[in-house]
Amino acid sequence: MSENRPNGTALRRAILDETRHLLVADGYDNLSMRKIARAVGCSATSIYLHFENKDALIHALIDEGMEQLHEQLVTAAKEPEPSARLNALAHAYVRFGLDNREYYQVMFQLHPERMERYPVEKFRKARRNLEIHAEALADGVEVGVFRTGSPETGAHVLWTALHGLVSLLLAERVDVKLADEAFIDAAVQHALDGFSK
Amino acid sequence: MSENRPNGTALRRAILDETRHLLVADGYDNLSMRKIARAVGCSATSIYLHFENKDALIHALIDEGMEQLHEQLVTAAKEPEPSARLNALAHAYVRFGLDNREYYQVMFQLHPERMERYPVEKFRKARRNLEIHAEALADGVEVGVFRTGSPETGAHVLWTALHGLVSLLLAERVDVKLADEAFIDAAVQHALDGFSK
DNA sequence: CTACGATGCTTATCACTGTTAATCGCTGCC
DNA sequence: GGCAGCGATTAACAGTGATAAGCATCGTAG
């Protein structure tokens, strides 16, 4: 099975490249196997030789996105002071979402049905993006600048707030008169406030 | 045009009824014009005599959902004390989302493209659901229990947090070990904390 | 009472979608 | 040389939203 060899063929890589390109350009809803095939220069069914189905193909891109997000979070987490670090993490998360709308949508807004068969090892990798927030919270509790239940719960709670902000902005549901940089800062601040001691 | 007469024909009502039923039962992704037609007992194209397209049909259901949500928020808003009222509103919003997942998804998670032609008067109606939160905030500021920028901004910020909570729970992204009633309460509390003086 | 136009609904059709089955062509091996 | 296996293809299936054309029924004008 081609899925098993770590270094896929050139075709596999080309499929991923074109899919990424089409996703970013046209969005998930306008992504079709035939369009990908046309862009790659192969038949639609050839994609199925390298990916079980469309979901599996998207899962590979989600994994890429999670890795990109992780990189940006790691950069933000260099700040040693827990409070400033969590602030940087939160802003980095939101910025990633706004800067990569189509990526964000498949990463976090895909219907749970489409995620049912998301591979465990990819899921574990994605969870690091939560853990990095939990760590900042735990460190903050230790030095006495934060209060929270468990850091894991706290990280999830923070995530819900940040995700809601990104989601509503991407969905263009927030009044355009309000949805500026100041609004984002206010919402992020609001999400962080609850942890301050 | 049948769209113009306030009381549509029996067919129009039947289409709405069956669409609502199918949406709740199978979800938006599994909703098709042909399935609706089959359930109603008419041809698929007949639906286009009463609704411009699939989006317009969904818009009618979104409007219904907004009305239902509004009713539940109004009930929660009977509480006179602003702090308790906002708390009741937030919990009512989240409960509505969790109790009506498919409805919530079309109401708040539909791709902006699908909402581009959402009618202005329906949009204005939907905005009451934000205003009812803003009112509680404004009242709270007046009696000195809340602090916030403008109540409108505050309501939007609160909305982002609540929406994120509902979205992640509906998307089943929150660790099942965490996603219980206590977690919901903690997240809602967190979202409200920032307004307390 | 007949003829006509409008209205409501249908069938046929188009260009797509994800996915599977069957098939083709090529390469390496016995 | 012939054959197995593998990568890739074409053909096909069932379904999608949507449009165009056609059919039947009805109220009304002549």
Instruction: Kindly report, residue by residue over B14-35, the tens digit of the pLDDT.
Output: 999 999 999 999 999 999 999 9
Q: Averaged over B120-148, what is the pLDDT?
A: 97
| CB-CB under 8 Å, B27 with A187 | no
CA distance A183 to B99: 30
CA distance B119 to B153: 24
Q: What is the mean pLDDT of chain B?
A: 93
Q: What's the CA–C1' distance between A141 and D15, in Å?
A: 55
Size of interface A-B (CB pairs under 8 A): 116
The CATH homologous superfamily of the domain defined by B53-193:
Tetracycline Repressor, domain 2 (1.10.357.10)
* Chain A residues with CB within 8 Å of chain B CB: 27, 29, 108-113, 115, 149, 152-153, 156-157, 159-165, 167-168, 170-175, 178, 183, 186-187, 189-191, 193-194
Minimum CA–C1' distance nucleotide for A32: C17
Of B108, B110, B190, the CB nearest to A194: B190
In chain B, residues 12 through 31 whose Cβ sits under 7 angstroms from any atom of nucleic acid strand D = 31
Within 7 Å: CB of B32 and strand C?
no
Within 7 Å: CB of B157 and strand C?
no
| CB-CB under 8 Å, A168 with B168 | no
The one-character DSSP state at A192 is H
The per-residue pLDDT for A11 is 86
CA distance B134 to B130: 6
The one-character DSSP state at B30 is G
The per-residue pLDDT for B60 is 96
- Which amino acid appears at position A132 of this protein? I
The pLDDT-based confidence of B129 (bands split at 50, 70, 90) is: very high
The topology (CATH level 3) of A1-51 is Arc Repressor Mutant, subunit A (1.10.10)
The per-residue pLDDT for A1 is 35
ipTM confidence: 0.92
| CB-CB under 8 Å, A165 with B109 | no
The per-residue pLDDT for B6 is 25
Distance from CA of A11 to the nearest CA of B (A): 31
Of B112, B153, B175, the CB nearest to A183: B153
DSSP 3-state of B119: coil
Cα–Cα–Cα angle for B50, B29, A35, nearest 5°? 105
Determine phi and psi for A25, rounding to 5 degrees. Answer: -75, -45
The per-residue pLDDT for B87 is 98
Asked if B37 and B44 count as a contact pair (C-beta separation under 8 A), the reply is yes
The CATH homologous superfamily of the domain defined by A54-193:
Tetracycline Repressor, domain 2 (1.10.357.10)
The per-residue pLDDT for B197 is 78
Per-domain residue ranges of chain B: 1-51, 53-193
Q: Other CB atoms closer than 10 Å to residue A64's CB: what's the count?
A: 14
CA distance B162 to B151: 16
The one-character DSSP state at B42 is S
Query: Across the 197 residues of chain A, what is the mean pLDDT of every consecutive 10-residue run?
Result: 42 94 96 96 93 96 98 97 97 98 97 96 97 98 95 97 98 93 97 92
Q: Does residue B97 surpass a pLDDT of 60?
A: yes
The per-residue pLDDT for A197 is 78
Of A163, A170, A178, the CB nearest to B168: A163
At A97-108, the pLDDT tens digits run 999 999 999 999
The pLDDT-based confidence of B3 (bands split at 50, 70, 90) is: very low
**How large a percentage of chain B has pLDDT more than 90?**
93
The per-residue pLDDT for A7 is 32
**A111's tokens:** 């219907």
The per-residue pLDDT for A5 is 27
**How large a percentage of chain B has pLDDT more than 70?**
96
